[in-house]
Amino acid sequence: MRIDKIFYSLLFLVTFNNFSQEVNKGKLIYINSLSNVESVKDWVLEGPAKIEFNNNWLKMYSPNEEGHHVFWCPQDFPGSFIAEWEAQNQEIDAGLCIVFFCAKGLKGESIFDPSMPKRTTGIFTDYTKGAMNDYHISYYANGRDNPNRETANLRKNKGFNLVQTGEIGIPVQSTAIHKMKLVKNEGHITLYIDNRKVIDWTDNGVKYGKVLEDGKIGFRQMQWTHFAYRNFKVWEIQHNK
């Protein structure tokens, strides 16, 4: 057999093996109902926002629409995980929701390390072009600066690199409860809304730098946004052939 045929045969076997592995939930590593003040006592809020609780939902908004904001879970999550939560729009006139994940300092430090620049106003470039690396997905997109965009975008930071424009995220006029599912399996990133896939992209670790690994997860809203959240859970990934 020719060398090139052997090479491509081996490549096929490796590729087939990778795709034959199903992604399943492994160990549950974090669970939070987001239902009361006690549940988020260790979370970190950046930007001029208010957190309220009603009927076991966490509601987040900026009084007088003063500014953008991010609410960080304090736990570090592994480079491969499955995260789920529920989200519901409270005001359909305008808003934009983002999930940050794999957020870490440029030198591998925690984003809360004392050496990191202060982030107190929710300015977007602090998270996309500043002193941290992360991925982010905008899954509700109806900003007053860009109304009715609807499509979900995946970006890789540092650099604000748009790596995929996906399907329509949460519809801009929807007030329904939506079930979110974010899966990061090494370099493969998918986002589902109500079991509908809206993002599906694989980071090859070359074009935009190495694949990002462990780090923080945070929820960001633009200043016009009024959203509610509950039942945030994160699992390790279990591979079954």
User: For 81-107, what is each residue's pLDDT tens digit?
Assistant: 999 999 999 999 999 999 999 999 999
8 A C-beta contact, residue 136 and residue 220: yes
For 148-157, the CB contacts below 8 A with 24+ separation are: 148/172, 152/191, 152/198, 152/199, 154/189, 154/191, 154/199, 154/201, 155/128, 156/203, 156/208, 156/209, 156/212, 157/127, 157/128, 157/129, 157/132, 157/133
Residue 54: strand pairing partners: 57
Q: Among residues of the chain, what percentage have pLDDT more than 70? A: 90
Using pLDDT thresholds of 50, 70 and 90, give the confidence band for residue 13: very low
- Residue that wins the pLDDT comparison between 146 and 81: 81
Q: Would the pLDDT of 3 be above 50?
A: no
| Distance of alpha carbon 196 from alpha carbon 101, whole angstroms | 20
8 A C-beta contact, residue 72 and residue 46: yes
Q: Give the pair of three-digit tokens for residue 178.
A: 């939506």
> Average pLDDT, stretch 102-121?
96
pLDDT at residue number 23: 87
Residue 37: strand pairing partners: none
Provide the strand spans (E) within the chain. Answer: 22-32, 44-46, 50-54, 57-61, 69-72, 81-89, 95-105, 132-142, 151-157, 161-168, 177-185, 188-193, 196-202, 216-221, 227-240
Q: Would the pLDDT of 17 be above 50?
A: no
Q: Give the pair of three-digit tokens for residue 144.
A: 């007053």
Using pLDDT thresholds of 50, 70 and 90, give the confidence band for residue 239: confident
| Distance of alpha carbon 62 from alpha carbon 162, whole angstroms | 27
Q: What is the dihedral of CA 121, 123, 129, 130, to 10 degrees?
A: -10
> Average pLDDT, stretch 49-71?
97
pLDDT at residue number 12: 36
pLDDT at residue number 177: 98
Using pLDDT thresholds of 50, 70 and 90, give the confidence band for residue 241: low
Residue 150: strand pairing partners: none
pLDDT at residue number 145: 86
**Block residue for tokens 């795709």:** 19
